[in-house]
Chain A
Amino acid sequence: MNINLKVNGKSYSPDVEPRLLLIHFLRDVAGLTGTHMGCETSLCGACTVELNGKAIKSCTMFAVQANGAEIVTVEGLATNGKLDPVQEAFWNEHGLQCGFCTPGMIMASKQIIERNPSPTEEEIRHGLEGNVCRCTGYQHIVNAVKAAAAGAGK
């Protein structure tokens, strides 16, 4: 099947198998391996990307369902070598250890701040419910989201 979609501002018109998962399109066809597969069952959030402005889990969506969509992955966040404030905050606050959950965490965190520019700790934690991190215990991630929100509000 032929589809058209934009990823990080770049247009793609691939011919894909109907059963190709969006995450596999991103990783194997578009070569954007920053989006990770952690569970294949939409329970860990490692595969989170932004599709038409909404954070979604790319492991449980077919590439063909993204026909016509605009997608942003973690690779699309930094502009002209300048990190996105959320990326910067994850770095400053030590919001990652092994880094495997991080791209999904960053995408989910961006969404939290977009929906609610000054989230409370509780709101941040609930916003991150769908994303598993096995390394950090989440505390530094919560700090990172707070810091990013505070910075963005300035």
Chain B
Amino acid sequence: MATTTTKVETFVGKRIRRREDPRLITGTATYVEDIQMPGMHYAVILRSPHAAARIRSIDTKKAESAPGVVCVLLGKETKGVGAVPCGVAMPDLRVPQHTILATDRVYFVGHPVAVVVARDGYLARDAADLIEVDYEVLPAVADPEKALAKGAPAVHPQWPDNIAFTYHQDGGNVDKAFAEADVVVKQRIVSQRLVPMAMETRGVVAEWRNADRQLNLYTSTQIPHLVRTIVAGMLGLEENRTRVIAPEVGGGFGSKLNVYAEEALMGYVSMKIQKPVKWIESRRENFTCTIHGRGHVDFYEIAAKRDGTILGIKLKLIQDVGAYHQLLTPLIPQLSVLMMPGIYNTQNIRADIVGVFTNCVPTDAYRGAGRPEATHGIERMVDMLAAELKMDPAEIRFKNFVAKDKFPYATATGLTYDSGDYAAPLKKALDLVGYAKLRQEQADLRKQGKYMGIGISTYGEICAIGPSPATPAGGWESATVKIEPSGKVTILTGACPHGQGEETTFAQIAADELGVALDDIVVLRGDTAVVQYGIGTFGSRATAVGGTALYYALQDLKAKIKKFGAMLLESEDVTLAGGQVVDNKTGKSKPFQEIAGATYRALKLPPNTEPGLMATRFWEPPNFTFPFGAHIVVTDIDGETGQIRIRRYVAVDDCGNILNPLIVDGQIHGGVAQGLGQALWEQAVYDDNGQLVTGELTDYALPRAHLMPWIESHHTCTPSPVNPLGVKGVGEAGTIGCSPAVVNSVVDALSPLGVRHIDMPLTPEKIWKLLATKNRDVGSRGATK
């Protein structure tokens, strides 16, 4: 047979440097703050310094007459604007009215009270200082456990118990499991509040075009289309005349998976002053007013047989809600419950969530969103169980893993795990780290009174979020592929990636499918006037869901290209390969570019075929995907100072097929850094008056280059059957796998002193104090003998 095969370069699976980088490394990318427009004005928001107070009066006279000021707006004037929405529907959910500016009361430090608009940012800030607010300060409560106590100050006076919602889930027969157990281990575990701290703070530029009844809203968001729908609704605008643009977005990590008061507020201001207006969040505002993550107090019980078989798990979860629900607030702890069995084969679970209002900024999705908390819980509990049963932590995990041949596996929480081989990454990680030798070394060091720990975490996660019935705003994703008459390819993705590299990975997919060069492809995102409706980037979904929509759109176009090719070649039997349509009989071929031109020139059309080459797909995933992996952390602890040194960090992650290993490694490294941040340093601390004590970078300890260990990143590969790319998602894996591995390692190091649990962050101070008390205890026990 005279088939010509053109050998073409393929791209999927290769370490290809990113195509988005040239603008970023040359300082020519456009973030919200970089946007300038003629007539632009600047807004500064005056915020409450109190966590709870009644507003007696506000005097804006001085501010209004300050130089450059065009207006000062208060809550009473913006009353007509719709409330900041909670996107989650649940029975008995208490949703306080969340106005875009406070009216008669403030509920947390940072609550927006007034907005000052001036022709210059410095002048707006000056004027904001001239506003006089008379507050009657009220008692506040900032700790969710205290908020539940009788007699606690009511965050919202209409709900004196401070309960925002409750949620119960039962699977299997927990009572029986606990009755039959040989051993039950209990522990209170805290997942502290964290500040997402995207390096670019939030920011909005709003431009009202009166003649067109059109609002252009530039905002640093992960979800431009949802922001458009919601903000248009809040302002009473038409959705097709509201254009939301997420330009370059400087990190989100969930904190920009939201709709914020300021987005609607700036739209309102621009309509009022008939001029474009810019608001850029300060770092202090970012700490106090952008959502926080985590904020759990968990009470775990795990029941097991003497041989280590886990029989059941109970969880009472207190979720610190903050003063309001933001977009997904009540959903996040439910994700923890879904994930609570981890990757272990137990069919009996019971969970009770109580969401609690506090006078703090709301919590919501932060990298991992509910799953790091769940993983931290189960992985700590499994280690405690192993310690109780004097089993090796690796052995107890191997014993309880859902077996490789059990997939698809239905969990007690109602999920169906798509595919897995849970033992594989743990085996690989144990080999890589040299586990047996390390245990030997540990035994020797212990004899010398030295603290060295080995911590394991074997995690699973819910990714590729997700099937629409299980997500608040639809969980599908969209893609359009346009092949221009010249054969150049434009991809429009609804997923709005912002740093995850899909301008590269999506081009890799398309290049391989169409047999064209990477450089012939452009990926556009983040503009509702350009891109068809989409959901956004979060929950490790952009590639697994958005990439699949792209894949199917490409299949549509390939079929059409083949039809045109067959027509032009006058053949019935053709193949599309290497950028050519080839007649399988004669070997004659037509290049893809020529066919693209012919579809638009349309001199002749195949039967029942329209001109042009463009396809849009909205792909609804039939299931989530479930990546997994094993992280092992080796620590050495300085007995004098409590300082923890991470000697080794081995991560073996299974995220299914890998499109670009360079990008996947980057996601793992960044994820681990955020996990380490939680494990060792980060904590949003509110004092009893509801003041955020760690409200600046001076007080909030972030992972920095010199604090980070070298991450040894490896993989196993279990493709997902949920999508044709076989990918699972990797954006959150590092974070989810990390924190329990670190804490398990430190607890392991200190276990000779009788330590069985330590709450995060494991600051040197905390460890030092623990060492001091435990050594004293051990010492005094020794003395009385």
Chain A contact residues, CB within 8 Å of chain B: 17, 19-20, 27, 32-41, 43-44, 46, 73-75, 77-78, 83, 87, 90-92, 94, 96-103, 106, 121-122, 124-126, 128-129, 131-142
Interchain CB contact under 8 A, B499 and A139 = no
Interchain CB contact under 8 A, B199 and A100 = yes
Interchain CB contact under 8 A, B703 and A137 = yes
In whole angstroms, how far apart are the Cα atoms of A37 and B184 in the complex?
52
**A residues near B388, Cβ cutoff 8 Å:** none
In whole angstroms, how far apart are the Cα atoms of A98 and B704 in the complex?
17
Interchain CB contact under 8 A, A87 and B250 = no
Interchain CB contact under 8 A, A99 and B21 = yes
Interchain CB contact under 8 A, B251 and A100 = yes
B27 contacts chain A at the CB level, 8 A cutoff: yes
Known A100-B250, A125-B705; judge A41-B26 contact (CB<8 A): no
In whole angstroms, how far apart are the Cα atoms of A10 and B18 in the complex?
31
**A residues near B669, Cβ cutoff 8 Å:** 136-140
Interchain CB contact under 8 A, B199 and A96 = no
Interchain CB contact under 8 A, B666 and A140 = yes
Interchain CB contact under 8 A, B26 and A75 = yes
**A residues near B27, Cβ cutoff 8 Å:** 32-35, 73-75, 103
B37 contacts chain A at the CB level, 8 A cutoff: no
Interchain CB contact under 8 A, A135 and B499 = yes
Query: Which 7 pairs, one residue from A and one from B, show the smallest C-beta to C-beta distance?
Result: A34-B27, A100-B250, A99-B24, A137-B669, A98-B499, A137-B673, A74-B27
**B residues near A38, Cβ cutoff 8 Å:** 199-201, 283
Name the interface residues of B686-711: CB closer than 8 Å to any CB of A: 696-698, 702-706, 708, 710-711
Binds A, one of B28-36, B232-240, B390-398, B747-755: B28-36
Known A40-B283, A100-B251, A124-B705; judge A136-B26 contact (CB<8 A): no
Across the interface, B666 reaches (CB within 8 A) one of A36, A94, A126, namely A94
B383 contacts chain A at the CB level, 8 A cutoff: no
A90 nearest in chain B by CB position? B25
B696 nearest in chain A by CB position? A41
Q: Mark B635-674, 1 if CB is under 8 A from A, else 0.
A: 0000000000000000000000000001101101111111
Q: Mark B193-220, 1 if CB is under 8 A from A, else 0.
A: 0000111110000000000000000000
Interchain CB contact under 8 A, B666 and A136 = yes
Interchain CB contact under 8 A, B24 and A96 = yes
In whole angstroms, how far apart are the Cα atoms of A36 and B107 in the complex?
32
- Chain A CB count within 10 A is highest, among B31, B668, B672, B705, for B705
B513 contacts chain A at the CB level, 8 A cutoff: no
**B residues near A73, Cβ cutoff 8 Å:** 27
- Interface size class for chain B? 35 or more
B35 nearest in chain A by CB position? A33
**A residues near B703, Cβ cutoff 8 Å:** 137-138
Interchain CB contact under 8 A, B18 and A74 = no
Interchain CB contact under 8 A, B199 and A106 = no
Interchain CB contact under 8 A, A138 and B200 = no
In whole angstroms, how far apart are the Cα atoms of A100 and B29 in the complex?
9
B583 contacts chain A at the CB level, 8 A cutoff: no
Closest CB of chain B to A74's CB: distance in Å? 4
Q: Mark B54-94, 1 if CB is under 8 A from A, else 0.
A: 00000000000000000000000000000000000000000
**B residues near A131, Cβ cutoff 8 Å:** 705
Interchain CB contact under 8 A, A133 and B672 = no
Across the interface, A91 reaches (CB within 8 A) one of B25, B704, B708, namely B25
Closest CB of chain A to B453's CB: distance in Å? 22
In whole angstroms, how far apart are the Cα atoms of A17 and B125 in the complex?
15
In whole angstroms, how far apart are the Cα atoms of A106 and B31 in the complex?
18
Supply 6 A–B pairs (Cβ within 8 Å), ascending by A.
Answer: A33-B33, A36-B200, A75-B26, A91-B22, A98-B251, A132-B697
**B residues near A126, Cβ cutoff 8 Å:** 705-706
B604 contacts chain A at the CB level, 8 A cutoff: no
B105 contacts chain A at the CB level, 8 A cutoff: no
In whole angstroms, how far apart are the Cα atoms of A37 and B32 in the complex?
12
**A residues near B17, Cβ cutoff 8 Å:** 91-92, 94
Across the interface, A137 reaches (CB within 8 A) one of B20, B21, B708, namely B708
**A residues near B23, Cβ cutoff 8 Å:** 99
In whole angstroms, how far apart are the Cα atoms of A122 and B645 in the complex?
14
